[in-house]
Amino acid sequence: MVDKISKDIKENVEKFKNTFKDADDLVYRNIKIGKKNKKEAYLIFIDGMVDKSVISDYAIEVLFDEMEIDESNLDSYKTSLSEKISEESIAVHDVKEEDSYDKLVDMILVGETVLLIDGSDKALILSTRGWPTRGVQEPQTETVVRGPRDGFVETLRFNTALLRRHIRDPKLKIKTLQVGRRSKTDVAVVYIEDIANDKIVEEVINRINKIDIDYLPGSSALEALIEDSYLSLFPQLENTERPDSAAASLLEGRVVIIVDNTPFVLMVPATIGTLFQSTEDYYSRWPIGTLVRFVRILSAILTAVSPALYIAFTAYHPGLIPTAFTLYLAASRVNVPFPAVIEAFLMEITIEILRESGTRIAGPIGTTIGIVGGIIIGQAAVEAGIVSPLKIIITAITTISFFAIPSYEWASSLRIIRFAFMFLAAVLGLYGLMLGIAILIVHLAKLESFTVPFSAPYSGLGLKEGDLKDTLVKAPIQKLKRRPQFTFPKDKTRMK
């Protein structure tokens, strides 16, 4: 049984006051409408969540000007009191009628204002949402040299607007869901109807609907709740703060998930190919884009494998590297008291500690300080003879390569893998490292992102259709006539 409000306003107000006991930011504004018959009315809203000028100017002031509220006139019009008022006497841009008590409570909590009228069994919901919010700024984690500088904000409705600015297509669908028993966070699932594959959209909506949790902190929590394999080291969704990235992924046939209260939106499905793409590629010329993509792949390999290779070659197989290099390596390690394995682990752990302490300091500056500090400490360590200089260089290469990878989550997974590889190399040398790589390959092949294989396009899906043109290299835009295949888009052509 839906709990309805009664016609008696005093009863209604009491009910609200009871529900919101000890919530002192609720405002109960008592007004009398009508110059002649003076109907009693209440406006209920939460101070701080509403745009107060809308209430004062477009609700209260207009209602005060109302000439008369006379129920006797109503029958001839066959309208209800609330309807008449909403249609003729309120200047707020969006007004809805509602009789369910729970719904009214929800609406107050979202920042709307409830207008109770004595004698009416329906209340009016005035759209008055407004709260302190950040203006549109350039996202700090994804900057480009040449390109737009807007970024998503924390308000869902503004974010959807930013998306619509890029895609003015009526086929752009925005489906809103709510997640979280207590947080009731709005989650919007955005897709382009005649491009995105129905099954993927369905899968996304189903998974979100299945969530039963009391508070949704942000998009990373949502990511963990709906991804295929939350235990895996690798992210299976992409995220971005940039509307242009999100819009581009929509046009690839992907689904964008916007979560209220966070500027990071999710893009689904994600694959290894997409994780190496960055917005910068699309705003520079294509040869640079291609070169940069190769550099990224190289960096990913370096950051995962360099320390392990160092261990393998110094401790196990000095015969596998050229002689001059071997002798140099031996010479540089002559007075170092630690075995190569310990040296490697020490340096890596030191860098991790430095990185972590760097994040306590504000922004990217902190991280830079951390890394530079690391290198200085490393230098001191070399002077003191504790670590070999080559190891410092390797650590530096490893760390810097880490930052060349566009997706932070992906890079972080590689960090962990780096330690696993180091351990394997310490036990079984190069063979151990290759075993680790074999396991990694299988894991990547097994991983799926919303029914799309994660290792596409390198593992088969999309190879024939030319998906590599936008993942491994960056082909000029004239060559990218077809959409990438991995999302199974319905409309395959982009350009003629």
Partner 1 sequence: MKKLLVLLLISSLMLTSGCWDSREIEQRLFVTAIAVDINEEVQEGNVNRLIVTYKYPNINTIGKNSDGGHINFTLSVPASGISQASTAFMGEAPFPFYFKHLKVIIFSKELLEHEELVRHILDELNRSPQINKRARIAVTEGKARDVLKVTAGQEYRTEGGIYQVLRSNKFTNRFTVKSLTDLITDFDVAGVTIVPRISIVSGKFVVSGGCILKNYKFLAWVDQNHNRAINIMNGIIGLENIDTIYNGTLLSYAVTRGYSRKKVTFDDGITVRFDIKLQGYLQGYNISQKNQVYDEKTLEDIENNIEEELEKKILETRKFLDEIGAPLFGVGEHMSKFHPKVWKQVKDNWQEMMPEVKFQLNIDVNIRRTGLTK
Partner 2 sequence: MKKNETISNLQIRNLLITTVIGVGILALPNQMVTILDNDGWIPIILGGLLVIPFAVMLDRVYKLYPDKNIYQIGREVYGKLIFNIFMIIILMYFVIQDAYVARIFAEVVKAYLLETTPTEIIIITILLVSAYLARCEIQVLGRVATLVYIILITLVGFLVLISLPDADPTNMLPVFNADFKKLPSAITGALFSYAGYEVVFIAYSSSDDKNNILKYIIRGLLVVIGIYLIVFVITLSLFGIDQIKRELWPTIAIANEVDLPGYFLENLEGIVLALWVVVVYSTLGPLLFAASRIFLNIFTTKSHDFIVLLLIPIIYVISILPVNVVEVYEKLGKVLNYFIAVSIIGIPAILFIGALVKKRRSKA
Residue 341 lies near partner 1 (rule: CB under 8 A): yes
Binding partner 2 (rule: CB under 8 A), the pick from 74, 435, 468, 475 is 435
Residue 135 lies near partner 2 (rule: CB under 8 A): no
Sole window of 214-222, 291-299, 336-344, 367-375 interacting with partner 1 (rule: CB under 8 A): 336-344
User: What is the dihedral sign for C-alpha 365, 277, 405, 456?
Assistant: positive
Q: What is the DSSP letter of 300?
A: H
**Burial classification of residue 45, based on how many CB atoms lie within 10 Å of its CB (0-12 exposed, 13-18 middle, 19 or more buried):** buried
Binding partner 1 (rule: CB under 8 A), the pick from 323, 362, 384, 493 is 323
Binding partner 2 (rule: CB under 8 A), the pick from 292, 437, 468, 473 is 437
Residue 420 lies near partner 1 (rule: CB under 8 A): no
CB 344 to partner 1: min, Å: 12
Nearest to 417 by CA among 392, 378, 444, 394: 444
Give the number of other CB atoms < 10 A from CB of residue 454.
27
Binding partner 2 (rule: CB under 8 A), the pick from 317, 376, 379, 476 is 317
Sole window of 16-24, 83-91, 411-419, 430-438 interacting with partner 2 (rule: CB under 8 A): 430-438
CA distances from 386 to 44, 332, 377, 399 (A): 70, 11, 11, 20
Give the number of other CB atoms < 10 A from CB of residue 135.
7
Measured distance CA(407)–CA(428) in Å, rounded: 31
Residue 318 lies near partner 1 (rule: CB under 8 A): yes
Residue 321 lies near partner 2 (rule: CB under 8 A): yes
Measured distance CA(87)–CA(89) in Å, rounded: 6
Measured distance CA(45)–CA(188) in Å, rounded: 25
CB 321 to partner 1: min, Å: 9
β-partners of residue 28 are 44
Residue 326 lies near partner 1 (rule: CB under 8 A): yes
Sole window of 79-87, 142-150, 309-317, 454-462 interacting with partner 1 (rule: CB under 8 A): 309-317
CB 327 to partner 1: min, Å: 5
Q: What is the DSSP letter of 60?
A: I
Binding partner 2 (rule: CB under 8 A), the pick from 365, 439, 477, 495 is 439
Residue 314's binding partner, choosing from partner 2, partner 1, none, with beta-carbon cut-off 5 to 8 A by kind?
Answer: partner 1
Contact 307/397 with Cβ under 8 angstroms?
Answer: no
Residue 316 lies near partner 2 (rule: CB under 8 A): yes
CB 249 to partner 2: min, Å: 20
Binding partner 1 (rule: CB under 8 A), the pick from 288, 291, 327, 380 is 327
User: If residue 159 lies in a helix (H) or strand (E), which one and from where to where?
Assistant: helix 156-166
For 194, residues 6+ apart whose C-beta sits below 8 A from its C-beta are 171, 490, 491
Report phi then psi at 335, rounded to 5.
-105, 15
Kindly tell me which of 355 and 418 has the beta carbon lying closer to partner 2: 418
Measured distance CA(255)–CA(269) in Å, rounded: 7
Please give the size of the binding site for partner 1, defined by CB under 8 A. Answer: 27
Beta strands 452-453 and 95-98 are: unpaired
CB 422 to partner 1: min, Å: 13
Q: One symbol per residue from 473 to 492: x for binding partner 2 (CB under 8 A), - otherwise; what is it?
A: ---------------x----
DSSP letters along 466-493, please? TGGGGTTS---GGG--B--GGG--S--B
- What's the order of all strands across the beta sheet hosting 255-259? 172-179, 185-192, 255-259, 265-268, 238-240
Binding partner 1 (rule: CB under 8 A), the pick from 172, 189, 201, 340 is 340
Residue 452's binding partner, choosing from partner 1, partner 2, none, with beta-carbon cut-off 5 to 8 A by kind?
Answer: partner 2
Residues that bind partner 2 (CB under 8 A): 199, 313, 316-317, 319-324, 428-431, 433-435, 437-439, 441-442, 444-446, 448, 451-453, 455, 458-461, 463-464, 488
Residues that bind partner 1 (CB under 8 A): 313-316, 318-320, 323-324, 326-336, 339-341, 426-429
